[in-house]
Chain A
Amino acid sequence: MNLTLRGRLPENRKVRAGLAILVFFALFALAGPFLVEDAFGLSATAIHTADGMQPPSGAHLLGTTATGEDVLAQLVVGSRVSLLVGLVAAVISTTLSVLVGVAGGYLGGTPDALLTAGTNIALVIPSLPLLIIVASYVKGRGGWLTVALIIGLTSWPWGARGKRAQTLSLRRRDFVTAAEMTGESRWWIITRELIPSMAPLISASFLSAVVLSMFADAGLSFIGLGNINLTSWGSMLYWAQNASALARGAWWWFIPPGACIAVVGIAAGLINFGIDEIANPRLRKPGRAVRRRAAAAALRTPEEAR
């Protein structure tokens, strides 16, 4: 799977579309704040109580919040914090999952049994309540970095399982045996042979981890934990909910940040789905001609096959 994955990654349309969306948001977060703040002179934090709860207009393309902040400016500036938390948390959780998964899969025996048991236990303890408890004890100390840290530390088990399974399929391959024969240490084989050969899988799961961490951050901020005083997509939703934006019909306040989170989520879904198609060729949608031939072969009538 490893070689085909590397060769096909750019060819799968779903993966490509998902990657394109993520790249777009990365640029949005990098360049966007300069654009809205310097070029258009909008501020995410300037309060104009007189302009509160304005629907979208020429002056405020996405309207204003209850205290008159510009929603568009908040959305653009907030993408930075959301993305940053996602990236840092994903680095932590991916590193942990690679270490636990690959070490367990490669070493086998008792270390594997222990690591697998640990992973499975971490997997069945519900992570969101745990996240909520830890975040509420932390009480915002350490800012977004702490939030990223606790999300990263609670979200690794899913990835560890996938990487362990992949390692199991690689550990008897010739290149691993060859490295063992030349007397390389286990650590060397894990870090120089196994992990590089799983690079496509690891990068795909890293992207999903970014998105899942952004979801977790938004969820935490939404209930008032984490970084509610930093502008992020989640904190926008929190303040919107706090000011009963829903009851007051201020859709422009909470639809944009939620939609951004949703689009990023769809990007991750596309990437996951594309990866599944690459890993399991049967899931790929065949062309029309292939489908017709397959239908005939499978003793189906042409009407049914369409």
Chain B
Amino acid sequence: MTASSGTVAPTTAQERVAVRRPGRRPRLGAARYFVQRLGFYLAAAWIAVTLNFLLPRLMPGDPASALIAQMQGRSALSGEQIASIYRLFGDPGEPLWSQYVTYLGQVAHLDFGLSVAFFPTPVWEVISAGLPWTIGLVGITAVLSFVIGTAGGIMAGGRAGSRTDSVATPAAMFLNALPTFWIALLFVLVFGFQLAWLPTGGAYDGDLTPGFSAAFIGSVISHAVLPALTIALGWSATWFIGMRNMMITTVSEDYVLLARAKGLGRTRVMFRYAARNAILPSVAGFAVNIGNVVGGQLLVEAVFAYPGVGYLLYQSVASVDYPLMQALFLMVSLSVLAANFLADSVYGLIDPRAREGRA
């Protein structure tokens, strides 16, 4: 769901700066900034873990017993496996507080029980098989779309009203407004079935044995093209719009005019003077957008049957696999928080105002 808004919103880092009244806390050192951000994300992580604990317990019925009945329909469970399910999904006989403590202990050992969809594989093994695919896909598309979108935004926003701008901006607005999973469906239809250029399901050809052979790597790449393209299209449009709007605001600053008046080249003025400052909100917006992109990615993986965590989530929903679903939610949330922390740290490094606590 990338259609959140046309501009890059104020960021957590900026927001934090704006809240602080000047004079109360004079200067924040770099170390202090990072510690503070770390504290914020740890608090967020704690809330995600607690949500994960509370949700099955707040729901009507008794998910733990239902799960045990469901699994025992397939094969006998050991006493330890049954105890593990009670620890994860709630034991009606135990007070909530002690349930919470045992739950935290269990999660700290990455013991999420057995998967229903892939019974009797432990949930953690199922997730570790899917995680590399998603990280690879998200990593590549994130970098690619940030570079493409930002560069395009610099060019369009640096010359607002030019021909490039009046073609690219409406196009980006259009792409930004489309539901990602529907673009994925169109790509499957056009490139997968009508033109039959690219494969539309899985991460590699099932006939090949995974390894460092040219055929296997080629197959991995050809399977990744469509999902990556789908995500990158929507995401780069978001960067493009944010960067363009910031550039338009920045190019009318006095220091840009001065640089021009000195007779510096257009490219140099655009990239070294205007874009350097205009890019700051984009970098900060990167963090807030990660969650949205991961959400879109989940659906895209489901469309392409790409074996990452999104497709696992889809499968866990289809087969009512609560252990897998819970663990996936936790993994996705914690990864998004970690990525957010990284993005905030980069922002703190490149924008001293964020560190020093002045706007």
Residues of A within 8 A of B (CB): 112-113, 116-117, 120-121, 123-130, 132-134, 136-138, 141, 158, 161-162, 165, 168, 208, 211-212, 215-216, 218-219, 222-225, 237, 241, 246-247, 249, 251, 254-255, 258, 261-262, 265-266, 268-270, 272-273, 275-276, 280, 282-283, 285-286, 291, 298-299, 304, 306
Contacts and interface: CB of A to CB of B under 8 A. Distances in A.
Interface string B257-291: 10011000010000000000000000000011001
A116 B60 CA distance: 32
A129 B313 contact: yes
A117 B291 CA distance: 17
Contact of B15 (A116, A125, A306): A116
Nearest to B56: A137
Interface of A is mostly: helix
A161 B48 contact: no
B193 interface: yes
A130 B177 contact: no
Contact of B182 (A121, A212, A262): A262
A125 B249 contact: no
Interface of B: 1, 3-7, 9-10, 12, 15, 18-19, 40-41, 43-44, 47-48, 51, 55-56, 59-60, 63, 159-162, 166, 173-174, 176-179, 181-182, 185-186, 188-189, 192-194, 200, 241, 245, 248-249, 252, 257, 260-261, 266, 287-288, 291-292, 294-296, 298-299, 302-303, 313-314, 317-318, 320, 322, 325-326, 328-329, 332-333, 336-337, 340
B59 A138 contact: yes
Contacts of A246: 185, 188-189, 192-193, 200
Contact of B329 (A133, A219, A265): A133
17 contacts: A124-B44, A124-B336, A124-B340, A125-B336, A128-B299, A133-B329, A158-B9, A162-B9, A211-B3, A212-B3, A218-B179, A241-B185, A246-B185, A249-B194, A255-B186, A282-B248, A304-B159
Contacts of B328: 129
Contact of A113 (B5, B19, B326, B329): B19
Contacts of B266: 304
B9 to A, nearest CB: 7
Given A133-B325, A265-B179, A269-B6, 4 more contacts: A126-B332, A130-B329, A158-B4, A283-B160
A237 B288 contact: no
A273 B40 contact: no
Given A285-B160, A291-B161, A125 B325 contact: no
A133 B59 CA distance: 11
Contacts of A165: 10, 18
Given A215-B1, A219-B179, A246-B188, A126 B336 contact: yes
B77 to A, nearest CB: 22
Contacts of B302: 222-223
Contacts of B292: 126
Given A158-B4, A261-B182, A272-B5, A168 B18 contact: yes
A298 B252 CA distance: 9
A38 B120 CA distance: 53
A283 B160 CA distance: 8
Nearest to B297: A128
Given A116-B19, A136-B325, A270-B173, A124 B1 contact: no
User: Which of A113, A127, A137, A158 lies at the interface centre, i.e. has the most chain B CB atoms within 10 A of its CB?
Assistant: A137
B174 A219 contact: no
Contacts of A299: 257, 260-261
B189 A212 contact: no
A298 B257 contact: yes
Given A136-B320, A266-B177, A120 B15 contact: yes
Given A126-B291, A272-B6, A121 B44 contact: yes
Contacts of B19: 112-113, 116
B288 A123 contact: yes
Given A124-B12, A124-B340, A132-B317, A251 B333 contact: no
User: Which of A120, A237, A304 lies at the interface centre, i.e. has the most chain B CB atoms within 10 A of its CB?
Assistant: A120
Contacts of B260: 298-299
Nearest to A18: B177
User: Which of B7, B56, B261 lies at the interface centre, i.e. has the most chain A CB atoms within 10 A of its CB?
Assistant: B7
B53 to A, nearest CB: 12
Nearest to A128: B295
User: Which of B260, B287, B298 lies at the interface centre, i.e. has the most chain A CB atoms within 10 A of its CB?
Assistant: B298
B285 to A, nearest CB: 12
A171 B328 CA distance: 43
In the A-B complex, the 10 residue pairs with the closest CB atoms: A128-B295, A269-B177, A258-B182, A265-B177, A126-B291, A272-B6, A266-B177, A137-B59, A121-B44, A273-B6
A282 B317 contact: no
Contacts of B176: 269
A27 to B, nearest CB: 21
A246 B18 CA distance: 49
A275 B9 CA distance: 13
B173 A132 contact: no
Contacts of A120: 12, 15, 40, 44
